[in-house]
Structure 1
Amino acid sequence: MRIALLTNAYPYHPGEQFIEDEIEYWGRDPLAHVTVLPAVARGEARPVPNAVSVDLCMANGTLPARLFAMWLALFSGTLWREWNYLRRAGKWSGYTVARALLHTSKVIAQARSLRRYIRRHGEIDVAYCYWNDTQSYAALLVKQAGGIRKVISRIHGIDLHEVRKPHNYMPLKRQFIHTYDRVFTTSGAARDYLQETYGAAAASIAVSPLGVPLARVLSKPSRAGVLHVVSVSFCLPVKRLDRIVEAMQLFALRHQEIAITWTHIGGGPLLGDISRLAAERLSGIGNISFEFLGAMENDAVKRYYAGTPVDVFINVSESEGVPVSIMEAMSAGVPAVAPDVGGISNLVSNQCGVLLGKSPSSQDIVRAVETVAFGEEKDVLRTNARKMVEENFDSERNYSGFVATVMAIGAH
């Protein structure tokens, strides 16, 4: 069966580390002939299984091709339908009009690239789109004309929640969401949001959680009188990292007898701003140190937990799916403190960490860290964190099942 896996950049950098775990299961199925088609390909590629190939037909389009697609978009029914939606929804503005044009042109350009790929290599049985965005819409256009039999898509957070988009505008999704053979959400909350916000049909949606390999070596707690807090995320406004800084300041002042280290892993456009804020707020406090390790490879993060005592993992994002970063920490036995947004409540609870409210204050975060670090049940929380991942987010179970489901869709 010919499977086309459409990605943003994988196997190239940056991001999409989660595919690194899943792709191994695709490589194990002898009936699946998988080709990865990234939209962007720069620098050195990450290794893929021997059974998986990579084709760059959709990557790094030329300026003339992009301009031609923009011209075609002006005469596209997709664009005019989207502009009509913007008027009806009261979202008409210079920004949204231009965004609709840009996204329509991307869909057209990517559909043209897919058609060229099909002319060279033959029909695609299943186009598996890792993101519910322009590449998946392009695959749907090609399917309508012939050349792709089935189109499925995962949907996560940034490609689901309108609040994470400027002007609260998610381009084109309402036009295409009804035409997938299956859309896989990471949680029941995401499924409900997809139905309520975009009108997706319940029968076309399935919940398929991501997963992580179970850590072979668990992270150890710090020795008495020491506390190590870790956060992992791309540095964006939606991650609310300034609240972690404020909470660490308050916690250090409240517990001056404890030697505290806060480690943040992850790059992004706000890394410099958050680093400066941490220096401003924390540098003068004698019992706390902090470090920003920047972007790290997925395997390096796993090794970090295995070789470094970690007591608490913190996430305070305002919008999430079911974060793999939290799964990885909990797999290593680290309890998490995280807000009740997106599908986080499927992963974090007061039995394996602390589930915060949707918009926790620095005081809320401090109390949660105190519970995890000093509470009578702190050892139980570590055990339960690992158990939660074993029972619900084990990559062996989740990805093997997902591959089997997709293969069954392609067989019909």
Structure 2
Amino acid sequence: MRIVMLTNAYPYHPGEQFIEDEIEYWARNPAAHVTVLPAVAKGEPRAVPGTVSVDLCMANGSVTARFLSAMGALFSAMFWRELVYLWRSRKIGMYTIARALLHASKVIAQAKSLRRYIARQGEVDVAYCYWNETQSYAALLARKKGGIRKVISRIHGIDLHETRRPHSYMPLKRQFIQDYDRVFTTSRAAQAYLEETYGAAAESIRVSPLGVPLADTLSKPSGAGSLHVVSVSFCLPVKRLDRIVESLRLFALRHKEVEILWTHIGGGPLFGEVRDFAASRFSGVDNISFELLGEMANDTVKKYYLGKSVDLFINMSESEGVPVSIMEAMSAGVPAIAPDVGGISNLVSSQCGALLGQCPSSEDVADAIDLIAFGERRDVLRTNARKMVEENFSSDRNYSTFVASVLAIGAS
């Protein structure tokens, strides 16, 4: 069965590290012949399994092609339908009109690229879109011309929640959400949001959590009088890394007898700002230090927990799906503190960490750190963190099931 997997950049950098685990299950299935079609291809790509191919037909379009697509979008029914939606929803403005035009032009350009690929390589059984964004809309548009039998899409967090976008605007989604053969969400909360916000049909949606490989050994806690806290994310406003800094500062002031190390893994546009903020807020607090390690390969992140003593993982995002970064920490027996947003409650609870309110205060977080790191149930929480991933977020179970589901759709 011929599968095209539409990604933002994978196997190129940055991001989409979690595809590295899933792609192995596609490669192992003899019924699947997978070609990855990234939208962006810059620098050196990551290695892909030998049975998986990569085609750059959708990447790095010319300035002329982008201009022609923009002109086509300006006179397209898709763009004008979007203007009607913006007017009726009272979201119309220069910014939203520009975003609607930009996304419509991307859909048109990517659909043309897909049709050229089909003309060259032959019919596609399933177009599997890793994100519910312009590439997935392009696949639906291209299917109308023939050559693509089925279109499915995953949907995560940034491509689901309107509130994570400027002006709470997700271009074009309402026009296309009814047309997929299947949409796979990462949680039931995401499914409910998709139905309530965009009018997606319940019968077209399935819940399919992501997964991580189970760590061979477990991370060990720090010795008495020490605390090592890890966070992993891009440095973006939505990640609320300043909240982590303030919470750790408060905890350090409460517990001057404890030596605290905060390690953050991940780069991004606010990397320097976060570094400077942490240096400022931790200045004069003698028992706390920090390190910002920047971007790190996915395998290196997994190994980090096994080579270091890590006491807990913190996530303070204001919007999430079901974060793979938390799964990876918990797989190594590291309990997590996180807010109850998106699908996090499917992963984090009082049985394996601390699930806080949607906008926890520094005091809330400091109290949770105390409970997890130094409470009587510390060892139980570490055991339960690993057990939660084993039972619900194992890549072996979740990705094998997902691949089988997609192949069944393609065969129908």
Within 5 Å, which residues of 2 pair with 1:246-395? 246-395=246-395
Partner residue of 1:62? 62
Amino acid at match of 1:396: D
Partner residue of 1:3? 3
SS in structure 1 at match of 2:327:
helix
Amino acid at match of 1:9: A
Within 5 Å, which residues of 2 pair with 1:229-240? 229-240=229-240
Partner residue of 2:141? 141
Amino acid at match of 2:162: E
Aligned counterparts of 1:232 and 1:377: Cα–Cα separation in 2: 24
Q: CA RMSD in A?
A: 0.4
Partner residue of 2:24? 24
Aligned counterparts of 1:365 and 1:270: Cα–Cα separation in 2: 22
Aligned counterparts of 2:44 and 2:283: Cα–Cα separation in 1: 37
Q: Is the 8 A contact 1:283 1:289 kept in 2?
A: no
TM-superposed CA distance for 1:284, in Å, is 1.6
TM-score, reference length from structure 1 = 1.00
Partner residue of 1:166? 166
Amino acid at match of 1:217: T
Aligned counterparts of 1:364 and 1:198: Cα–Cα separation in 2: 34
Q: Is the 8 A contact 1:339 1:358 kept in 2?
A: yes
Aligned counterparts of 1:99 and 1:85: Cα–Cα separation in 2: 13
Q: Is the 8 A contact 1:35 1:54 kept in 2?
A: yes
Partner residue of 1:217? 217
SS in structure 2 at match of 1:145:
coil
The Cα offsets for residues 355-388 of structure 1, whole Å up to 9 and x where unpaired, read as 0000001000001111100111010000000000
Amino acid at match of 1:244: I
Partner residue of 1:86? 86
SS in structure 1 at match of 2:234:
coil
TM-superposed CA distance for 1:31, in Å, is 1.1
Aligned counterparts of 1:27 and 1:312: Cα–Cα separation in 2: 34
Amino acid at match of 2:72: L
Aligned counterparts of 2:377 and 2:285: Cα–Cα separation in 1: 29
Partner residue of 1:102? 102
TM-superposed CA distance for 1:172, in Å, is 0.2
Amino acid at match of 2:277: L
SS in structure 2 at match of 1:101:
helix
Partner residue of 1:242? 242
TM-superposed CA distance for 1:283, in Å, is 2.6
TM-superposed CA distance for 1:147, in Å, is 1.1
Q: Is the 8 A contact 1:332 1:386 kept in 2?
A: yes
Aligned counterparts of 1:207 and 1:132: Cα–Cα separation in 2: 15
Aligned counterparts of 1:309 and 1:284: Cα–Cα separation in 2: 25
Amino acid at match of 1:81: R
Partner residue of 1:193? 193
TM-score, reference length from structure 2 = 1.00
SS in structure 1 at match of 2:216:
coil
Unpaired segments ≥5 residues, structure 1: none
SS in structure 1 at match of 2:256:
coil
Q: Is the 8 A contact 1:211 1:395 kept in 2?
A: yes
The Cα offsets for residues 235-256 of structure 1, whole Å up to 9 and x where unpaired, read as 1000000000100110100000
Q: Is the 8 A contact 1:220 1:309 kept in 2?
A: yes
Aligned counterparts of 1:163 and 1:124: Cα–Cα separation in 2: 34
User: Where do 4+ consecutive residues of structure 1 move more than 2 Å?
Assistant: none
Amino acid at match of 2:61: G
Aligned counterparts of 1:199 and 1:179: Cα–Cα separation in 2: 12
Q: Is the 8 A contact 1:247 1:365 kept in 2?
A: yes
SS in structure 2 at match of 1:171:
coil
Within 5 Å, which residues of 2 pair with 1:145-160? 145-160=145-160
SS in structure 1 at match of 2:171:
coil
TM-superposed CA distance for 1:314, in Å, is 0.2
TM-superposed CA distance for 1:151, in Å, is 0.2
Q: Is the 8 A contact 1:103 1:171 kept in 2?
A: yes
SS in structure 1 at match of 2:37:
strand
The Cα offsets for residues 379-398 of structure 1, whole Å up to 9 and x where unpaired, read as 00000000000000000000
TM-superposed CA distance for 1:267, in Å, is 0.4
Percent identity (aligned): 75
Partner residue of 1:53? 53
Aligned counterparts of 2:162 and 2:410: Cα–Cα separation in 1: 31
